[in-house]
């Protein structure tokens, strides 16, 4: 058997790589775990920043593979990761979501729920009210601390003037759906808090007047109103196709197509626009996808390799089904590479596929 040597791609002609992307200010990549969401998000963020657009890549996936993909340390707060282009990145750390809901076991800490936690419901207090478990004010189970932290950051970045585009590498489907449910949960919770505040306003006003606490009550009320307004702005942005594109990533297999169809349906229920479907790891030549004449690319041998031929037949059926199901949406293909996709050169190739 002849041994095949695959050479790593260290540099490519920059003229053939994308500089800028045709996308709105929010691009979210979602799908099942392991389909390539992180790769797509990193490639889109890199291409966007190469076009001169100040771009933030956000990872809400607790697995934290963005650092490996971009081959650099990603901070837990937005930081610039490239000196030549305006590329910023952040990985959400679930451990930083403190408060009465501990992210490790999700248990509700009654001792931690005090008057300060109840009144400090500003942006910084969001994590203090959320987590796995429940509270009477919430009226049901609350999302996990990682989703709470993710939503908190998305709300923060919505008004951040430093970033012209935000690209989100979401956690696997189940976590993503809980993240998207969070605005409704928060609306319900804030509605109860606001109702409680109004019902107790007379009593609290008298008591606070006795102890000089009027300013604190006004500040707490302002925090509640501000948080409610921020959540509504985020919801409006996510539902606006001119501002948001949720891109579903899948692999060319029957079950992945079915799961992606379900995800698109759920996103439609949330009012989240899905304009793009990405089919990753397709067994075809890079030139047929991008037009790049890459002599280093090792394409699957479907003519003489029986295994490769059968795999391509399975993928071709899945691709046909995807084009049928997602008619009216852009279906983009990313080829199967012989090596792991990481680093600027390979991400530039993936970015070209996503143009």
Rounded alpha-carbon distances, angstroms, from residue 329 to 25, 130, 166, 273:
19, 35, 21, 10
Determine how many CB atoms are found less than 10 A away from the CB of residue 159: 9
Give the CA dihedral 334, 339, 343, 346, nearest 10 degrees: -40
CATH architecture group of domain 26-99+142-203+220-354: 3-Layer(aba) Sandwich (3.40)
Using only the alpha carbons of the chain, give its radius of gyration. 23
Q: Using CB atoms within 10 A of its CB, is residue 59 exposed (0-12), middle (13-18) or buried (19+)?
A: buried
**Which tokens sit at 286?**
């890079």
pTM comes to: 0.74
Q: How many helices (H) and strands (E) does the chain have?
A: 11, 10
Burial 132-145 (b: 16+ CB within 10 A, else e): bbebebbeeebbbb
pLDDT value, residue 80:
95
**Tens-digit pLDDT string for the chain (355 aa):** 334 343 444 445 554 566 778 889 999 998 888 899 999 999 999 999 999 999 999 987 777 789 999 999 998 889 999 999 999 999 876 555 443 333 344 443 434 434 443 333 333 444 444 333 434 333 444 445 555 566 666 777 767 889 999 998 887 766 566 666 666 666 666 666 666 666 655 544 544 444 344 555 566 666 666 766 777 777 788 889 999 899 999 999 999 999 999 999 988 888 888 999 999 999 888 777 776 766 667 777 878 889 888 999 999 999 999 999 999 999 999 999 888 898 998 999 999 899 8
- Give the span between the Cα atoms of 139 and 101, in whole angstroms: 16
- Give the span between the Cα atoms of 347 and 57, in whole angstroms: 14
């Amino acid at each position: 058997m002849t041994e095949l040597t695959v050479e790593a791609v260290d540099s490519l002609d920059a003229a053939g790589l994308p500089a800028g992307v045709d996308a709105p200010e929010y691009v979210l990549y979602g799908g099942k775990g392991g389909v390539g969401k992180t790769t797509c998000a990193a490639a889109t963020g890199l291409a966007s920043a190469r076009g001169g657009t100040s771009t933030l890549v956000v990872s809400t996936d607790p697995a934290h593979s963005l650092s490996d993909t971009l081959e650099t340390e990603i901070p837990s707060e937005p930081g610039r990761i490239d000196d030549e282009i305006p590329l910023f990145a952040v990985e959400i750390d679930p451990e930083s979501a403190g408060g009465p809901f501990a992210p490790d076991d999700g248990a509700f800490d009654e001792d931690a729920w005090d008057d300060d936690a109840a009144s400090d419901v500003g942006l910084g207090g969001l994590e203090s009210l959320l987590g796995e478990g429940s509270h009477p004010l919430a009226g049901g189970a609350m999302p996990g601390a990682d989703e709470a932290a993710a939503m908190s950051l998305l709300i923060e970045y919505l008004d951040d003037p430093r970033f012209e585009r935000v690209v989100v590498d979401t956690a696997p489907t189940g976590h993503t759906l809980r993240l998207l449910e969070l605005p409704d949960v928060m609306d319900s919770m804030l509605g109860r808090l606001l109702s409680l505040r109004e019902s107790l306003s007379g009593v609290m006003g008298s008591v606070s007047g006795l102890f000089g606490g009027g300013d604190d009550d006004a500040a707490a009320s302002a925090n509640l109103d501000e948080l409610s307004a921020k959540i509504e702005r985020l919801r409006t942005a996510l539902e606006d196709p001119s501002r948001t594109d949720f891109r579903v990533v899948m692999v060319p297999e029957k079950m992945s197509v079915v799961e992606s169809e379900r995800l698109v349906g759920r996103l439609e229920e949330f009012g989240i626009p899905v304009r793009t479907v990405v089919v990753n790891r397709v067994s075809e030549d890079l030139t047929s996808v991008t037009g790049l004449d890459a002599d280093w690319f090792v394409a699957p041998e479907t003519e003489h390799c029986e295994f490769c031929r059968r795999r391509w037949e399975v993928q071709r059926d899945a691709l046909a089904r995807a084009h049928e199901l997602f008619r009216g949406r852009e279906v983009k293909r990313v080829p199967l590479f012989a090596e792991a996709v990481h680093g600027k050169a390979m991400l530039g190739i993936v970015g070209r596929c996503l143009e």
